[in-house]
A and B are shown apart, each in its own frame.
Chain A
Amino acid sequence: MKNPHTWRYVTVQIMLVVFGFSILVQILRIQHSAEAKAILDKDPGGGVQTFYPARGEILDLKGHLLAGNKIVYEVGVDLQVLKENEYANANTIALAASVYLDLDFATVLNWITQPPEGLRYIVLDNFASSDEEKALMDLQESVKDKPRDQTLEGLNSEPHLVRTYPEGSLAANIIGFVTQEGVGYYGVEEKYNSLLAGVPVKVWVSADPNRAEELPNIPPGATLILTLDREVQASVEEILDAAMLNTGAASGTVVVMDPKTGEILALAVTPHMNLNEYSRFKEIFPGETPFDRAISQAYEPGSVYKILTMAAALDKGVVKPEDTYWDSGINLIGGVAIRNWNNTVWGQQDMIGCLQHSINTCLVHVASLLGNDSFYSYMQKFGIGHTTGIDLAGEATGHLKLPGDSDWYPIDLGTNAFGQGVSVTPIQMVMAASAIANDGKMVYPHLVHAMVQDGWQQNISPQVAGSPISAATAHTLNDMLAISLEKESSNSLVPGYHIAGKTGTAQIPTPYGVYDSSTTNASFVGWGPVDDPKFLIYVWLEKPQTSIWGSEVAAPVFKQVVEKLVVLMGIPPDVVRLQPAGP
């Protein structure tokens, strides 16, 4: 029997099939439509992005921030938006950029209306400050409802970090600086650039949210904790600046080191600049001016070098403190007569007297007793003529001529004995002197106390660079230097504290091979307290005007630094320190 309603069912079936089929057709049509193609073309689907980690911080020993990061903005224009607007607001954007970003109106207008072929985005300012960016974005918001030609549509900003130095010029010559390109120059910033900068990570970032993936962890660069104490550094810089003003010196250097560990507690040199204004670098450091004289400028140190000659002679056993020398004011070596400063004649002196009066002829005699082989062997053990390996960029080697070298003459043994004809950097002298202050053990000077990376802190252990002299020799020379300072009633003496040290006044060699007698390098090296040294200080003033003598210009600087140090480091006077503690 035929159902009279069959046609209805068939009709419904056909309609449903047609409906389903039409859905499929529509899906395919949409997928292959011009609009879909436009969307796919417009969406780049993502791309490889490079994520730069935040540059690691630099802190002082107590955690004060010396180098950090701050937000600046990349301000740019989306040229695609501008093109869609038919460049209606190009003038407005150029005007806003000229007012708020201090850019030239015509240049900006040219950039955004006639960009290079294929460019979709143009950067107007990569380092706009927060204030500039805020003012610009506030303006953009306030004009968004105005006629199109008066809006800032297409103007974008993107934040990023750049280096900043909260302490300004403090420890500038140690820290160095980072350029806008993110490259460290000088000091710690250059030496540890790779560690501080971290490792950039390249990641495929999809614009399709369906394919969004968690970004890998991008750890910031390593944080460095320096051995510096900012209070000590600030005080030493203040003392040095005052000394420069008072003496009229051409330049100045003060290095303070812990002679037991090699940790640099302060390092002040001139000139120094505000690191946030590094664009003034060439103005502040014209020509060949070294960024950090303490490590980069070698000079003939003069009589401070005598402590090394005497240390070698005592250690070799060729002299004892009580040995005497008759000074006639002249001593012949290599066929050349060596004289004392101002042709002074000191008569009979023991070795302490030789150091106290800084008698050149006596040290020539001592070096002669040592002989070439021993003298230069000791000087090399003290690290003279080699870099110290301090963790700062740009260290110089100095120059120690050796027998057999084409420029070495027999007279050099005599002149080298009192610090002439040999060039050293202040940091080399500091390292060499640490052997005398530290029981014969010479330590590597260093500035990084610890590194913090990936959640772990790695402390840098002190390292002994060698033992050029015995502990007994070091103790003997310590006593000799302390006695000679006290007998001399030196300007370096600090009431209540037993100090050892030596002055230096060196003539400056001219390019013509003779010495300029009118100008000097005034130096002082000293440490204390003698029985348990906590600090070793090196002072160098180049060409002081008020006095040529190290004892009159460099020794007082040493004294002022010690007076600050004992307070800031909490070092009580000897009479208190050496008394037994209470119950």
Chain B
Amino acid sequence: MNNISHFVQKYRQASWRVQLQWLVLFVLGLVAVALVAGLYLSVSARAALTGRKIQSLEAAIRSGERVNANLESQLAALTSAQEMKELAIAIGFYPVDPAEITYVPVSGYAPPPAINMAPQETHSSAPVILPEYTRSLFDWFIERVPSAPSEAGGQP
């Protein structure tokens, strides 16, 4: 027993051991700081890269929209009323005379409606915002609490 106590005492008192411990702790601290710094560097680099990618994609979207508008206008020019008329005449069509037309009455026929490019704007079809996006935590809590009886008293 004495031998063990003596060994422990000797061990504790060894200054080089204490210094070694401090050294290891310091190195561990340094490694920890290096890890955190490395992690920060990695995350910030990825954020920067993603940010740049977002900017590039936004530019690509704008470019795509421009190209789309340009192509739409080119297509419209190629199929303009004058172009289509010239094309029709070139392939042998000619403007019809009313007397050449034979009309056949068809019960229930309705002419095609005018162009619809988007849903009609009506109140009933307006987009609905879910209450989760507008309700406060307090409102939610109040809703969850069982409501108290509206009138005092009860059965006689």
Contact = CB atoms under 8 A, between A and B. Distances in A.
Interface of A: 1-3, 5-6, 9-10, 12-13, 16, 20, 54, 57, 59, 61-65, 68-71, 130, 159-161, 164, 166-168, 170, 208-215, 223, 225, 230-231, 233-234, 449-450, 452, 455-459, 494-496, 563, 566-567, 570, 572-573, 576-577, 579-583
Contact of A455 (B66, B101, B119): B119
B77 A166 contact: yes
B39 interface: no
B14 A1 contact: yes
B127 to A, nearest CB: 9
B1 interface: no
Contact of B107 (A68, A212, A494, A582): A582
A68 B51 contact: no
Contacts of B52: 209, 212
B58 A69 contact: no
Interface residues of B, number: 55
27 contacts: A3-B14, A9-B19, A9-B20, A9-B23, A59-B115, A70-B70, A159-B63, A160-B66, A161-B66, A209-B49, A209-B52, A210-B47, A212-B55, A215-B58, A230-B81, A449-B114, A450-B115, A452-B117, A455-B118, A456-B121, A457-B118, A496-B98, A563-B98, A567-B96, A581-B107, A582-B106, A583-B107
Nearest to B33: A20
B51 A209 contact: yes
Contact of B73 (A61, A68, A230, A449): A68
Given A170-B80, A455-B118, 5 more contacts: A65-B72, A164-B77, A167-B81, A210-B44, A214-B58
User: A-B pairs with the 8 shortest C-beta distances?
Assistant: A212-B51, A3-B16, A166-B76, A65-B76, A209-B51, A68-B73, A572-B103, A456-B121
Given A6-B19, A455-B118, A16 B26 contact: yes
Contacts of B120: 456-459
Contacts of B118: 452, 455-457
Contacts of B97: 563
Contact of B54 (A214, A573, A577): A214
B73 A579 contact: no
Contacts of B99: 495
Contacts of A68: 69, 72-73, 76
Contacts of B51: 208-212
B48 interface: yes
Interface string B7-27: 000000011100110110011
Contacts of A234: 81-82, 85
B89 to A, nearest CB: 13
Given A10-B19, A210-B47, A71 B66 contact: yes
Nearest to A130: B70
A529 to B, nearest CB: 13
B105 interface: yes
Interface of B: 14-16, 19-20, 22-23, 26-27, 30, 44, 47-52, 54-55, 58, 63, 65-67, 69-70, 72-74, 76-77, 79-82, 85, 96-99, 101, 103, 105-108, 111, 114-121
Given A209-B55, A210-B44, A567-B96, A62 B115 contact: yes
Given A456-B119, A459-B120, A450 B114 contact: yes
A61 B114 contact: yes
A20 B58 CA distance: 43
A61 B15 CA distance: 96
A209 B48 contact: yes
A458 B16 CA distance: 87
Given A9-B23, A170-B80, A563-B98, A579 B66 contact: no
Contacts of B19: 6, 9-10, 13
A266 to B, nearest CB: 12
Given A13-B23, A166-B73, A214-B58, A71 B114 contact: no
B54 A212 contact: yes
A457 B116 contact: yes
Nearest to A19: B30
Contacts of B80: 166-168, 170
Given A170-B81, A209-B55, A581 B105 contact: yes
Most chain B beta-carbon contacts within 10 A, residue among A5, A54, A212, A213? A212
Contacts of A563: 97-98
A509 to B, nearest CB: 38
B40 to A, nearest CB: 12
A54 B65 contact: yes
Contacts of A577: 103
A563 B106 CA distance: 23
Contacts of B121: 456-458
Nearest to A495: B99
A495 B23 CA distance: 112
A577 B103 CA distance: 9
Most chain B beta-carbon contacts within 10 A, residue among A1, A2, A6, A70? A70
B124 to A, nearest CB: 13
Contacts of A494: 98
A71 B74 CA distance: 11
B58 to A, nearest CB: 5
Nearest to A159: B66
B16 A9 contact: yes
Nearest to A65: B76
Contacts of B74: 70
A210 B74 CA distance: 39
Contact of B82 (A3, A71, A168, A225): A168
B88 to A, nearest CB: 11
Contacts of B105: 576, 579-582
Given A1-B14, A61-B114, A161-B66, A576 B76 contact: no
A541 B15 CA distance: 117
B102 to A, nearest CB: 9
A301 to B, nearest CB: 29
B31 to A, nearest CB: 12
Nearest to B101: A567
Contacts of B79: 64
A8 to B, nearest CB: 9
B30 A16 contact: yes
Contact of B16 (A6, A452, A576): A6
A550 to B, nearest CB: 24
A511 to B, nearest CB: 40
A304 B98 CA distance: 27
Given A16-B27, A214-B58, A457-B116, A573 B103 contact: yes
A105 to B, nearest CB: 31
Most chain A beta-carbon contacts within 10 A, residue among B19, B73, B82, B106? B73
